[in-house]
Chain A
Amino acid sequence: MEQLIIVVAVLPLLSALLIRLFATRLERGVARISVVITTLSFLLSVVLLGWSFTGDVPHILSLGNQISVLLFDPLSILLTAIILGISLIVHLYSVRYMAEEAGYGQFFVLLDLMTATLLFMVLAGDLITLVIAWYLVGVLLYFLLGQDTRSQTAYRFAFWTLITYRIGDIPLILAAALLYNAYDTWSLTIIFNEIMANPNAHMVLGMPLTQVVAALIGFAAFARSAQFLLHTWLPYTMDGPTPVSALMHAGIVNAGGFLINRFAPVFIHSGDVLNGIFVVGLITAIFGSLLMLTQNDIKKALGYSTMGQMGFMIMECGIGAFSLAIYHMFAHGVFKGTMFLSAGSVINNARQDDGIPKDELYTFAVEKQANKARQPWLLMAAITLAVPLVILVFAHLLIEQNYFQKQGAVVLLFFGWVTGAQLIFATYRMRTQNIWRLVGLSVLSLVVVVLGYVFISHAFDLYLYPDPEFRKQLYSAASINILRFDILVAITALIIVSGWIVTYYAEQHGYRRRQHTKRLWLNFYALISREFYVSDIYTRLTRILLGLSARLNVWLRWL
């Protein structure tokens, strides 16, 4: 049965080949080949996913020699189904969307090749297949983003993507080479088994090999998942076709989370690296969300929203919640894919009628007119702080009694609590006939979201990492000294609650600001509007490098 996975992975390649051969004869009909084969591949992957629930996994499938191996395990089969599901939607959407574009057949060839490459990436059972697929994703994405060969802008930003991806290839290749030298095999399964048996058997530059490899894998993931300082390509690649944006934001950009999950046995022995990953994810989540809020272009705002979400996904890996990152990847993929594919029609409809009802929510959120009548603030503050906490604690206790012994779980709860409290805090001053009904509905929606999130993520945990000891090890690896942890949580809570109090008093006394505070805000806004000058710095560095290249050519007389 597991042999079917080879068919699933090869089918998109077959589709690309058939389109290439019959493109001139079939013209626009080539899309039918692509859609039918992708549908078939997707259905097979769903059958395999169902079969994998029987627990008869993992399997290793050789394609002929030791460096072409596919790994059939819960992670690979789940991601195979997700990739094919998203790819199928993008295919269906593209049939009409791309119909007027030149290079229709070539677009479907590239789309099928990209699907196949992504499948080989998640199914790779050896380092060579993984490196090849990892590398090719960047190359294919470059050509997909540059589908409109008339547009210099599309190619300019496609190039940003390519170069960032190539930078991300460097640490992965180094990690693969180090692992091969240490274990004398390309097989991921053998390497992971040896690492589990004896994690500190090899040293590199005086450091344990596992830590060096984990750090390199982390860097590779950062480039692919647009983490801060390696993020500039993501919001700017909007000149590519919308289906490609959808595929990129819903699927390709998540590859960082996959890579960290694939190397989970290495990360178990690299706690410090996980802490570093958490910090990078946190910074990315904050900066991505901040930049998203200041955009006035819907697609760019979506781009920065993806950056923030990727930060959150990487952060989840950093606290040891590896399977949660995969669930996040899936949920975000579906959500963001839908948003991209519907962005065009939303803009089109909004040009005729914005369709926004001028109700209480509009008055509150858009016109920023809060309710003048106040509820007793102590009561509201108590509800704001206590209710989300009770819901979260209750939901988590339902699935695991000793949940709070994991630091990662506490971090997630903390984030859930802040978000939930923020929701209630933000809504209770809306102009409404019945404030208690509104608060009640907010709490109910929070209960539904939290319970859904907790139960589904727990199911992902059990499916992806069935060994409870392994799950425990992942959380322990990400843990830090308990005193430091408690101090950090207390400080963060203090900062957030202080922020709420400041906001509350500012609202009570109006938004009058002193001159110097105004200037500070203005400078801060300028900083954000220039996106922290990150792309400006890169552009300057690029010019310096190209200037050096040109000067060298002149000095050496072009020889």
Chain B
Amino acid sequence: MMADLILLLLVSIFIPLFPMSMVFNAIVDKITNCWIRILIFSIWPLTGLMILHFSSIRLPDWLTYLALGTSMLYALRILTLREVNQWTGFLATSLWSLLWLAVIENTSASLLYGYAISMSIPLVMLLQLSAGLEKRYGAAYTGLYGGLARSIPRFAGVLVTVVVAAIATPFFPTFFIMLDLVVATVSSAPLVAIMLLLIWLLWSWAGARLIQGLIVGRASEVDIDDLNTSTVSIFSLLLLVLAIYGIYLSGVIL
């Protein structure tokens, strides 16, 4: 019983559950190196899933509601965040905490890893773009400079698409994962399904605020380097692969 609780506390750092979710965000806040941050985002939920996979914790019934509460809390909190790295960390917390629901629904291990990876890829891309903004403007902050669509249109285009992918828009995998979770819960626990949809709505709201705070406005008077075409191609290719995986996932899970 005690061992189960300790293990659960440990896993809830990696597959976030409030208040252990604060550990992840504190780490993200402290790390300034972009590549280390990207590495953490890539392995964080996978570590949690692996611990869960190799242990045999009995998951309590209330876990669904704690996971939903965590996701809802962070989705609500992103609305007023302006620092892009922090924004990405909170969105990651909100997204990854929903992995608990998939675990409770007995989703296969391979699919769970697929869910975690496909949730993390747009976040990792966003961290890269955030580093790009820091390099160009000294800070990745919404509402501070704006006008990216006019100043650096290629960068803005990639940024918008990555944000759209991160907030569960068709045809990216998170959209189908959310749909699957709603389908799995709507008949047995309609309240859970409604909460999931509200969380999804908050993501869209937060995404729109982030986009508006960065891309809208007049062009900068200073010349700023845009992304080169090869970098844009790499981002586009990654997003295309992600969308194809989303379509594939829809065939598997729906």
- Which residues of A are in contact with B by a Cβ distance under 8 Å? 65, 67, 102-103, 128, 131-132, 135-136, 139, 142-143, 146, 149-152, 155-156, 159, 162-163, 166-167, 169-170, 173-174, 177-178, 180-182, 186, 204-205, 545-546, 548-550, 552-553, 556, 558-559
Contacts and interface: CB of A to CB of B under 8 A. Distances in A.
B169 interface: yes
Interface of B: 22, 25-26, 29, 73, 76-81, 86, 147, 149-150, 153, 156, 160, 164, 169-171, 175, 179, 182-183, 186-187, 190, 193-194, 197-198, 200-201, 204-205, 208-209, 212, 215-218, 250-251, 254
A556 B77 contact: yes
21 contacts: A65-B251, A103-B153, A132-B171, A132-B175, A142-B208, A151-B216, A159-B208, A163-B204, A163-B205, A166-B201, A169-B197, A170-B194, A173-B179, A174-B182, A174-B190, A174-B193, A177-B182, A178-B186, A204-B187, A204-B190, A559-B29
Contacts of B160: 143
Contacts of B79: 545-546, 549
A128 B209 CA distance: 28
A310 B192 CA distance: 33
B147 A181 contact: no
Contact of A186 (B81, B170, B254): B254
Given A149-B150, A177-B183, A177-B193, 9 more contacts: A67-B254, A135-B169, A149-B216, A156-B212, A162-B204, A163-B204, A170-B201, A549-B79, A552-B76
Contacts of B182: 173-174, 177
Nearest to A20: B236
A142 to B, nearest CB: 7
Contacts of A177: 179, 182-183, 186-187, 193
B224 to A, nearest CB: 15
Contacts of A65: 251
A558 B29 contact: yes
Contact of B164 (A139, A156, A205): A139
Nearest to B170: A132
For A159, A173, A205, which residue has the most chain B Cβ atoms within 10 angstroms? A173
DSSP majority for the B interface? helix
B179 A152 contact: no
Given A139-B169, A177-B193, A150 B186 contact: no
B222 to A, nearest CB: 17
Contact of B183 (A102, A167, A181): A181
A108 to B, nearest CB: 15
Among the interface residues A151, A170, A182, A204, which one has the most CB atoms of the partner chain B within 10 A? A170
Nearest to A133: B170
A128 B250 contact: yes
A178 B204 contact: no
Contacts of A180: 183
Nearest to A102: B150
Given A150-B216, A558-B29, A550 B187 contact: no
